[in-house]
Amino acid sequence: MPMSVSPCLFLTCDPGCPFIIEYGSLCNFRQSVRENRLALAIFDLDHTLLSDDSDHAWGQYLADRELVDPAVHQHRNDHFYEQYKAGTLDIHAYLRFALQPLLDYPLQHMLAERERFLAERIEPLISQKSRDLIQKHRDQGDHLLIITATNGFITYPIAERLGIADIIAPHPEVIDGQYTGEIVGVPSFQDGKVTRLNAWLEEHQQSMDGAWFYSDSRNDLPLLRLVDHPVAVNPDSTLEAEARQYGWPIISLRDD
């Protein structure tokens, strides 16, 4: 019977993990990073470490490259994005939409498109302020972790480019070496970020003591309310109101 791949990337780097081969080098990357027991520094990705939304940008890229029907895909992509900003996104419906192109083209073709996307659309979104904040926590010896609702096909290589070895993201399912269009386990979105983080903490024997979490979005309030050091980054109106109510720092990581 076909075997469904477990979400092992960045949760364990067991050499026997039956994960698609393209991510094998990232396991080596994670193993090369010094482990420590100091505070967690947790980062949202889109509109936090990045100055825009990588998920929405990927959909726009696919439309611009005419790898999907431009009008139909862009309309649906924008619709889901507005739902996300309003806090009403059906994450499972969105992930099926976002992962569908991986079923429509050979893997090597999509990997090449992803590399072009990262170079053209993602690199310009990484500000020097974001790099400086990451380095600040690294210099303090903190354990760096990205947690994002954007699927791993897009975000795993972004984490690598940022020099952050650990990432929690919706993990695309692979059966017999092929993407299925589904994800494995709980998507790391809203309360799902807390669920996935708790599993990660148990796996890595880490704790939330002294943890930082940086985010821009109302969707991350469940996790922001749990950490010792919540920080609002260019927040939406809902998050800004909560940050002001509870005295959380509000910062910008944009290079103005």
Residues with active-site annotation: 44, 46
Task: Give the C-alpha separation, 189 to 139, whole Å.
Answer: 29
Task: Sort 196 into a burial class: Cβ within 10 Å, 0-12 / 13-18 / 19+.
Answer: buried
Q: Which residues contact 52 (CB under 8 A, 6 or more apart)?
A: 46, 125
Task: Give the C-alpha separation, 239 to 44, whole Å.
Answer: 14
Task: Give the C-alpha separation, 102 to 115, whole Å.
Answer: 14
Q: Are 189 and 113 in contact (CB under 8 A)?
A: no
- Bridge partners of 184? 171
Q: Are 159 and 118 in contact (CB under 8 A)?
A: no
**Token match 């889901």: residue?**
80
